[in-house]
């Protein structure tokens, strides 16, 4: 469930309750908001293609599940893999990354906005190695 606290036409808060369970990628903030709040709910076996964010940093918090994060250089060369488990939080300030969902997962995402569409937010690439 998503709750909003509003008064006098002004938004004071967006509350993402733990019981929210909609599948896929769900963002709750307007696209022009300077911070974007979303929930990613993916099934085991889902793969998020390697990409680099353009001028955007993001934080992912694993509420439930297990996910492999694969890091890449700007040239698409594989650098390192790490595993995130339920309760782990990661800040991704730069470089490339892709995700392999290893267990059904529920992930809270906070990133910089405004969101200007995939073509202005991300650049996908072919991984090497």
pLDDT tens track for 98-117: 999 999 999 999 999 888 77
Asked whether residue 86 is assigned to any structural domain, the reply reads: yes
pLDDT at 54: 86
Q: What is the pLDDT of residue 4?
A: 96
List 16's β-bridge partners, or say none: 2
Whether residue 10 lies inside any domain: the answer is no
Q: Indicate whether 36 belongs to any domain.
A: yes
Query: For residue 99, what are the domain limits?
Result: 22-124
Per-residue b or e along 94-124, where b marks 16 or more CB atoms closer than 10 Å to that residue's CB: eebbbbbbbeebbbbbbbbbebeeeeebeee
44 located within any domain: yes
Residue 16 in any domain: the answer is: no
Indicate which CATH number applies to the domain containing 29: 2.60.120.10
Tell me, yes or no, whether 15 lies in a domain. no
Number of domains in the chain: 1
pTM of the shown model: 0.90
The H or E element that residue 119 is part of is: helix 118-121
Q: Is residue 90 part of a domain?
A: yes
**Between residues 29 and 126, which one has the greater pLDDT?**
29
Tell me if 5 is assigned to some domain: no
When the pLDDT of each residue in the chain is averaged and rounded to a whole number, the result is 93
């Amino acid at each position: 469930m998503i709750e909003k606290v509003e008064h006098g036409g002004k938004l004071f808060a967006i509350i993402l309750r733990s019981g929210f369970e909609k599948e896929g990628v769900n963002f709750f903030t307007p696209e022009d908001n300077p911070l974007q709040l979303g929930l990613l709910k993916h099934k085991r076996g889902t793969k998020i293609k390697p990409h680099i964010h353009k001028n955007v940093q993001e934080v992912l918090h694993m509420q439930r599940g297990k996910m492999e994060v694969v890091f890449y250089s700007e040239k698409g060369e594989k650098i390192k893999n790490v595993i995130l488990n339920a309760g782990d939080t990661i800040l991704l300030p730069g470089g490339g990354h892709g995700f392999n969902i290893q267990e059904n997962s529920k992930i809270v995402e906070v990133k910089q906005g405004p969101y200007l569409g995939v073509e202005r937010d991300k650049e996908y690439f072919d991984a090497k190695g």
